[in-house]
Amino acid sequence: MLLSKLFIPITKDLPSEAKIKSHQLMLQTGMIKQSSAGIYSWLPLGFKIMKKIEKIVREEQDNIGAQEILMPTIQSADIWKESGRYDDYGEEMLRISDRQNREMLYGPTNEEQITEIFRSSVKSYKLLPQILYHIQWKFRDELRPRFGVMRCREFFMKDAYSFDLNESEAVHSYNRMFYAYLKTFQKLGLKSIPMKADTGPIGGDLSHEFIILAETGESKIYADKRIFDVPIENYKNDMISLKKMRDDFSKFYAVTDDKFKQKDFNDNVKKSNQLQTKGIEVGHIFYFGDKYSKPMNCAVDGKDGKKTFVKMGSYGIGVSRLVAAIIEAKYVNKKMKWPKSVSPFDVVIIPSVTKDKKNLERGMKIYSELKKQGIDVLLDDVDENLANKFNKHDLLGIPFQIILGSKSEGNKIEFKEIDKESQLIEIKKIINTLKN
């Protein structure tokens, strides 16, 4: 892609409404555009990053055997009346009526909808266990939407739902998802901590929030530092290993504000291991047994022929929130660096602009070569001095740069990984590095 052709409305001024770095940067680099309070359009750069995040989330759901579906955004109020949540959910729910005056709503989550699908199609335990998920827009009429896409009203969420015959199998589904979450955040270049959490309007008694550390996070967290060292690569996707994983994580104190008690913290964690900081909730998982299946009569014939209400859990990841959360976690010293797995481009070529256009022409040649090799490359062909270009690319955060200025000569080209020293190397080696 040529930067001059990319629809990327970069602004020089700091947007005054943005209080945190990710919100500023997303507006400044034209990733998003607010359309009304807490509602955003996603422009090419932001959308590309979000789609890469979505792809990784999907891969890890598929890896644990979850199956993708797509439910609508608009739901009928009837199923929410059945579960009893229609009144409980309160003003966060956007209620609408259609031309026949039927009560509808814009889904804030999909427990009712999935339970309705499941009860009408599954009658026997033989089809259990099942995990179904979708990646779909949600709407919550937040009282104070803030921090851009971090806490907005319309947001993109992966939500999964598990169905099991009994509690122990349901807990295994919960553990599978717990594992998928650790893997997902790892692939996104993030260190996440699973923390015991309250269940709020979703319900149930077993729940973990997945938090990534960031000073600007809204969640206060209290943890035993050693929780960071639990080696997730040691666990396998089987019942015994996953139980061990949960047990290993449970050994370490890790809670958010609402579950925090100073005395417990002091009793359980020695001073030198105490970590008290802030974080961003990027995922939240719940086990709630028959909270929905019972009132909505979602039952299967068990092995003994008796009707049993299925045991359910639900599992959310804030896909759109993650774009902002990654920025908060990765932005240092006025520089952004996207993890390679989600970067909008693999590499950017930055030629200095000269009268004879020599560097730009060279840039074009390298650009074609890289494209031929399947590398997603951006060429900064904008007529602007190098200092400005560097400032701009500090914000854009593409992890590798090819700089065509005074240093690049003959075969040797200046190549730089954003937070490292640049080196002069041959194009072949650059291609190899980028491909790896």
Tell me which stretch binds ligand 5CA (CB under 6 A): 16-24, 120-128, 247-255, 280-288: 280-288
Q: Contact between 109 and ligand 5CA (CB under 6 A)?
A: yes
* Closer of 153 and 389 to ligand 5CA (Cβ): 153
Residue 11 C-beta: closest distance to ligand 5CA, Å = 23
Enclosing H/E stretch for 81: helix 77-83
- Picking from 154, 151, 148, the residue whose alpha carbon sits closest to that of residue 136 is 154
DSSP 233-293: GG--SSHHHHHHHHHHHHTS-EEEGGG--HHHHHHHS-GGGEEEEEEEEEEEEEEEETTTT
- Picking from 131, 270, 276, the residue whose alpha carbon sits closest to that of residue 195 is 276
- Say if CB 323 and CB 48 are below 8 A apart: no
Helices 319-330 and 21-28: crossing angle, nearest 10°? 100
Residue 81 C-beta: closest distance to ligand 5CA, Å = 18
Q: Contact between 147 and ligand 5CA (CB under 6 A)?
A: no
Angstrom CA distances, 86 to 75, 104, 112, 212, 411, stand at 12, 11, 10, 32, 68
Spatial separation of the C-alpha atoms in residues 193 and 249, rounded to whole Å:
9
Tell me which stretch binds ligand 5CA (CB under 6 A): 14-22, 62-70, 264-272, 313-321: 313-321
* Closer of 116 and 414 to ligand 5CA (Cβ): 116
Phi-psi region of 203 (alpha: psi -120 to 50; beta: other; left: phi over 0): left
Spatial separation of the C-alpha atoms in residues 97 and 104, rounded to whole Å:
5
Q: By CB under 6 A, name the one of 152, 227, 336, 418 that touches ligand 5CA.
A: 152
Q: Contact between 202 and ligand 5CA (CB under 6 A)?
A: yes
Fill in the per-residue mask, 83 to 102: x = in contact with ligand 5CA (CB under 6 A), - = not in contact.
--------------------
Q: By CB under 6 A, name the one of 183, 321, 337, 392 that touches ligand 5CA.
A: 321
Match 């979450």 to its residue by tokens.
Answer: 181
The pair of three-digit structure tokens given for residue 22, joined into one six-digit string: 């990710």
Q: Which residues pair with 156 in a beta bridge?
A: 137
* Closer of 46 and 363 to ligand 5CA (Cβ): 46
* Closer of 235 and 292 to ligand 5CA (Cβ): 292
- Say if CB 400 and CB 347 are below 8 A apart: yes
Radius of gyration of the chain (CA): 24
Spatial separation of the C-alpha atoms in residues 244 and 165, rounded to whole Å:
22
Q: Which residues pair with 139 in a beta bridge?
A: 154
Tell me which stretch binds ligand 5CA (CB under 6 A): 150-158, 180-188, 237-245, 401-409: 150-158
Q: Contact between 142 and ligand 5CA (CB under 6 A)?
A: yes
Tell me which stretch binds ligand 5CA (CB under 6 A): 82-90, 98-106, 151-159, 370-378: 151-159
Tell me which stretch binds ligand 5CA (CB under 6 A): 174-182, 226-234, 275-283, 342-350: 275-283
User: Residues in contact with ligand 5CA, total (CB under 6 A)?
Assistant: 19
DSSP 402-420: EEESSS-BTTBEEEEETTS
Q: Contact between 284 and ligand 5CA (CB under 6 A)?
A: yes
Q: Contact between 140 and ligand 5CA (CB under 6 A)?
A: yes
Within positions 155 to 174, which residues make up the interface with ligand 5CA, using CB under 6 A?
Answer: 155, 157, 159
Q: Contact between 314 and ligand 5CA (CB under 6 A)?
A: yes
Q: By CB under 6 A, name the one of 163, 315, 367, 400 that touches ligand 5CA.
A: 315
Binding site for ligand 5CA (CB under 6 A): 109, 140, 142, 151-152, 155, 157, 159, 202, 281-284, 286, 314-316, 318, 321
